[in-house]
Structure 1
Amino acid sequence: MSSGLDTRPSATTYDVEKLVGMAWRGQIRVPHFQRDFRWGREDVIRLFDSIVKGYPVGSLLLWVRPAAEQILTLGALRIEAPRMDPSLWVVDGQQRITSLANALHEEGGRDPRFALAYDLRNERFIPRPTAEDPHVVPLPILFDLRKVLRWFTAYPGIPSSFQDRAFNLTTVLRQYPMPAYQVEQESAEVLQDIFDRMNNYGKRLSKAEIFSALYAGEESAQDRTLTIDLIATHVDEQFGFGRIDNDTVLRAMLARRGPDPEREIRTEFDDENRREVIEFPGEDRDTAYQAGEEALARAVRFLQNEVGVPHFSLLAYRYLLIVLTRVFAHFPDPDPANRRLLRRWYWRAALLGPEIFKGSSTGASRALCAKIQPSSLSESVQSLLNTLNRPAPPLPELRRFRTNEAATKITLCSWWALTPRDPSTGALSDRIQLAECLTDRPTAADAVRYILPSRLVPEKYRLWAANRVLLPSMGQEAGKNVGDVLANPPITMDEGTWLKVLDSHLITPEMATLLQNDQVVPFLQGRQSNLISIVKSFLDRMCEWRFENTPPISDLLIEDLPGDEPALPDEEFHASD
């Protein structure tokens, strides 16, 4: 049992200016037993909103102890931290300190979660716009009075009331007091116990958080140690797939190492005491993390390039990614025939759903991962397909459009396959636009726009897919009425391009005329019929229900029977004459 603290904590207060300054200099460190950074952009915005409103944001708990020289990663910041004695290690408050240090530093904006600005007109914090707006001040500028003065010098037309508002915000941000307790304690175990009690009483840790704490790695190697959170970041940065949640990343890693991704994790690297199948005996923690990231990356590449799922928010079910990670872990480069069968399997599984398995998603994950045998790709793929040996289910319901539901995600993938065009420019949508539009968003809602405002649509039709379009390029342009844009082609756009725009959204010229004439119900009914046809066509092509699940020809070849002599090439016959 722990003996407790050597000395009582001392109470102090840091203003934000001093706190972030210490973080930028490397005086604040994060101990290895801390959880990964988990906040999203909305959490960071709420923190700053609380500060300017004068709300309390909680106290910090800081561990006073020496720190070695190291390259420190804090959010998006990479800091060359010198040896310091003392330094402050964050036991409680990592999310707040990381958010402040990144959002107020220009380099922090490389991570969209921290790329924030203040809208002087609407008096709120918003994501930093791509084009500079005189009335929207980036936080790194707002935090520095000299930079604020230069900003208004560059834009002299900004009203003096807005300038006063900005100067006041600068003062509030810099001087906001953050209460802190400082603990001087030699034993890291005592601090881990404090951390555990502060964070875990009354709420349950996720499986990924427990795993990260159990296998945090050595403190001295933290600047080069791969974590679950870093794997999610790397995959998002490499593919623009969106941020996969940590629990899915963990289960994908576990699926690579064994057939049950829901297994007990406390003996994961203990071969002697682990009861489950050991497929990689003797593998250490760092090797498992690296290999897990590589397998997950191959699965994501397959989803994007061959399956037609461009973003994590359009993945029908998360367990499907877990299963594919196991496949691509043991078979990094499947042959074309099996890749096509895997694509077929994904869409059939997405349409049938996890309800056909005992225990729903958890049961599906276990049952399907168990079908993947490292000894044979074809047998594994055939086993996966055999679990779905059922009649084709009904099409997704298009009278209920919810971006957090599998049916709508399937529908959106069918729209993405049409390569939707921006009605303002005619430009094709791409994955980069989609990823930027959906930064830090759990669903694809920000990339979907209403064609007509709900107030103009009869209640019966308000949930219909027919009143939605997939427009990632217009995701942040809330002021535009999409119906007006789709009804009236831009003056500068030629007719051929305009027809391609309409076709990419399954709107005929006749439907556009209905929009122009405010014929709401006939427009929705006609477009709904088009949507049903395209979803059916898409799923027929992807699921291939009428095709036999024939393995590759190479797996069907019969070897020569004993005693049969292979025929010699002609030139060998001539040589023996």
Structure 2
Amino acid sequence: MSGTEPSLDTQPSADTYELGTLVPLAWEGKVRVPHFQRGFRWKSKDVLRLFDSIVRGYPIGNLLLWVRRSPADTIKLGNLEIDAPATDEAFWVVDGQQRLTSLANALSVEGNKHAPFNVVYDLKDEKFIEAPRNGLEAHQIDVPTLFNGRRLLSWFRTQGPNAEDYYDKAEVVSTKLRQYKVPAYLVRQDDLKILTDIFDRMNSHGRKLNRAEIFSALNSGIEEGFQDRLNFSTIADNVASETLFGTIDVNTVLAAFLARRGPDPTREIRGEMSRQAEFDEDEQTAYSQVQDALVRAVTFLIEEAGVPHIVMLPYRAQLVVLARFFAHFPSPGNNSLRLLRRLFWRLSVDGPTIFRGSFTTFSRTLCSRIKPGDEDGSLQALLNTTKGAVRSRPSLQQFRTNDASTRITLCSWWALRPRSLETGDPADLQSLSSLLGDEQTAALATPYVYPRLQGKKEREMRLAAANRLFIPFDEMRPTEMSRFLSMPRIDISAPLQEMILRSHLIGEQAVEALARDDRSEFLRVRQESIQSHLESFLGRMAEWDYEDTPTLDQMDLDDDEEELTEQDFDLSDDRLR
């Protein structure tokens, strides 16, 4: 080890804490979670397994606690909000956050009200369960009562089961919970860099943090004032709020952050803020600028490329590339936007054949084509990556909302501005965003026409695009969609009903098949309409047969020659735009 590398002045001290002592410390605000920690990730099954391990006497792992003087503060620990007093020795959790948060919440009367901390012990079956929605039975007891000896005795006297052996069982479990010993290492060190280095090394083994979480930990800065500093999560929230595009995952935000500062968004993240980048800036400026670049990239996707929400973005790598482009060229001209739109849709269709489905190759190759200060050259280099690509056709046979082909199809449907089945109003960003929120796919917006199909021929079409509608509205869905679509409406005019159906690619022939309940025919006809519309949409967006001509001011024209007129260059010709 080099003498310049940081190290601990003293080795961590080892101790053990009974849960009966440790958990009340958390309730008193003496256990705190550093801001560089990842958010709470555990599900109900993880919390239940933790309690089961404790009563079985299984080890649940060591804790690593950073002991430091801490000011008075209002802190969040899971669902608990605690007025924490100033203390000379607060325990900041470097490793063990999920376990301590689960215990502090599940064993608290207030925290136990909320999933995934709503843990109950079933005295009859002798196991921990989630609190039943319809209330506890006589032989089921919430773990805050089980954890407290006096409350446990009172519970049995007033409302517990009559069987005496139940009390004996409960007392045994209660004692095991209170007296369970948790090993802990205590680090007394004021240097935050050492703590984040320890955090990084610990999370390089076992269940790893993702890249964004590690980067945030390594570059977290001091604890005080962190609420006012940007990070990848707040950037994602801010972009979603400003654009209604949905929440971008933090790993994609990190990749965009790296792509903006250099051509390889997959590079090593350690030491990023100390290495030379394409922008001379401090960390918070870098965060602010990538947020601006992401807003411009998302605005392009919505307004130019026809992608209204992140759940309809074919590949996340495309957003990373766009963020780099808009970071270096924040105000591209109309022709550049058109070429960029061509590029986006050509890559959406042909990208997997070019880059063999690799996010790393896709993002690294394309980002390296973007040269600072050369907008037209960058666009031409990007478009050249698609030359000679084997053009594929998005599949309509398997409609899966997490699949790129389906997301492409949904974008083509969005171009029709599908109308509400209730009101006939066309969809807009607000209606789509209100329905999907932070959903990871568009499943909520794509109900089946026929949830159940009979016969081999019909069943083969159950998963096809023709058996789905795109309804980007938070409204009631008819229980029998096919019957609803075929029936005349008395609440709206016939022309409006026709407009509704056509916005969902249901033409006259398909309506007639619906009326006859000829399911196979309806699906066949609609599938043909969807295919035709998809090809037309992609043709308009990708413009495969057009020349990718640079802007006129980049063309080598001799100023001394006779001035050219509009008749010499027909500016309505798409090839010159």
TM over 0.5: yes
How far residue 232 of structure 1 moved from its aligned partner, in angstroms, is 1.8
Q: Alpha carbons of 1:350 and 1:522: their partners in 2 closer, same or farther (altered >3 Å)?
A: same
Q: What is the SS of the residue equivalent to 1:470?
A: coil
Q: Alpha carbons of 1:479 and 1:197: their partners in 2 closer, same or farther (altered >3 Å)?
A: farther
Q: What is the SS of the residue equivalent to 1:261?
A: coil
Task: Using the aligned pairs only, state the percent identity.
Answer: 41
**In the TM superposition, what are the counterparts of 1:396-545 in structure 2 within 5 Å?**
396-456=394-454, 458-473=458-473, 480-545=479-544
Match of 2:314 in 1: 316
Number of residue pairs aligned between Structure 1 and Structure 2: 499
Q: Alpha carbons of 1:44 and 1:446: their partners in 2 closer, same or farther (altered >3 Å)?
A: farther
Work out the CA distance in 2 between the residues paired with 1:63 and 1:552: 58
Please, which runs of 5 or more residues in structure 2 have no aligned partner? 1-6, 55-59, 119-130, 148-176, 563-577
Match of 1:380 in 2: 378
Q: Alpha carbons of 1:261 and 1:393: their partners in 2 closer, same or farther (altered >3 Å)?
A: same
How far residue 325 of structure 1 moved from its aligned partner, in angstroms, is 0.3
Alignment partner of 1:11 out of 2, 11, 18: 18
Q: Alpha carbons of 1:197 and 1:287: their partners in 2 closer, same or farther (altered >3 Å)?
A: closer
Q: Is the 8 A contact 1:206 1:247 kept in 2?
A: yes
How far residue 323 of structure 1 moved from its aligned partner, in angstroms, is 0.6
Match of 2:93 in 1: 90
Q: What is the SS of the residue equivalent to 1:469?
A: coil
Work out the CA distance in 1 between the residues paired with 2:102 and 2:490: 45
Q: Is the 8 A contact 1:37 1:94 kept in 2?
A: no
How far residue 340 of structure 1 moved from its aligned partner, in angstroms, is 1.4
Match of 1:227 in 2: 231
**In the TM superposition, what are the counterparts of 1:235-314 in structure 2 within 5 Å?**
235-271=239-275, 278-281=277-280, 283-314=281-312
Q: TM-score, normalised by structure 1?
A: 0.74
Match of 2:574 in 1: none
Note the aligned Cα RMSD (angstroms): 4.2
Q: Is the 8 A contact 2:436 2:442 kept in 1?
A: yes
Q: Which amino acid aligns with 2:552?
A: I
Q: Is the 8 A contact 1:242 1:435 kept in 2?
A: yes
How far residue 358 of structure 1 moved from its aligned partner, in angstroms, is 6.9
Between stretches 225-234 and 161-170, larger displacement belongs to: 161-170
Q: Alpha carbons of 1:500 and 1:552: their partners in 2 closer, same or farther (altered >3 Å)?
A: same
Q: Alpha carbons of 1:363 and 1:163: their partners in 2 closer, same or farther (altered >3 Å)?
A: closer
Q: What is the SS of the residue equivalent to 1:90?
A: strand
Is 1:31 paired with 2:3?
no
How far residue 523 of structure 1 moved from its aligned partner, in angstroms, is 0.4
How far residue 437 of structure 1 moved from its aligned partner, in angstroms, is 3.3
Q: Is the 8 A contact 2:105 2:117 kept in 1?
A: no
Is 1:363 paired with 2:367?
no
Q: Is the 8 A contact 2:418 2:471 kept in 1?
A: yes
Q: Alpha carbons of 1:285 and 1:102: their partners in 2 closer, same or farther (altered >3 Å)?
A: farther
Q: Alpha carbons of 1:304 and 1:13: their partners in 2 closer, same or farther (altered >3 Å)?
A: farther
How far residue 414 of structure 1 moved from its aligned partner, in angstroms, is 0.4
Q: TM-score, normalised by structure 2?
A: 0.74
Work out the CA distance in 2 between the residues paired with 1:547 and 1:332: 25
How far residue 344 of structure 1 moved from its aligned partner, in angstroms, is 1.2
Q: Alpha carbons of 1:164 and 1:81: their partners in 2 closer, same or farther (altered >3 Å)?
A: closer
User: Which is greater in Rg?
Assistant: 2
Q: Is the 8 A contact 1:447 1:472 kept in 2?
A: yes
Work out the CA distance in 2 between the residues paired with 1:96 and 1:430: 43
Q: What is the SS of the residue equivalent to 1:437?
A: helix
How far residue 559 of structure 1 moved from its aligned partner, in angstroms, is 6.1
Q: Is the 8 A contact 1:15 1:175 kept in 2?
A: no
Q: Is the 8 A contact 1:37 1:75 kept in 2?
A: no
Q: Is the 8 A contact 1:399 1:465 kept in 2?
A: yes
Q: Is the 8 A contact 2:346 2:542 kept in 1?
A: yes
Work out the CA distance in 1 between the residues paired with 2:471 and 2:266: 37
Q: Alpha carbons of 1:359 and 1:437: their partners in 2 closer, same or farther (altered >3 Å)?
A: closer
Q: Alpha carbons of 1:163 and 1:382: their partners in 2 closer, same or farther (altered >3 Å)?
A: closer
Q: What is the SS of the residue equivalent to 1:9?
A: strand
Match of 1:146 in 2: none
Between stretches 499-508 and 430-439, larger displacement belongs to: 430-439
Q: Which amino acid aligns with 1:229?
A: S
Q: Is the 8 A contact 2:14 2:183 kept in 1?
A: no
Please, which runs of 5 or more residues in structure 1 have no aligned partner? 109-113, 119-142, 144-160, 565-577
Alignment partner of 1:333 out of 321, 331, 334: 331
Q: Is the 8 A contact 2:102 2:117 kept in 1?
A: no
Q: Is the 8 A contact 2:244 2:309 kept in 1?
A: yes
Match of 1:569 in 2: none
Alignment partner of 1:351 out of 327, 349, 353: 349
Match of 2:217 in 1: 213
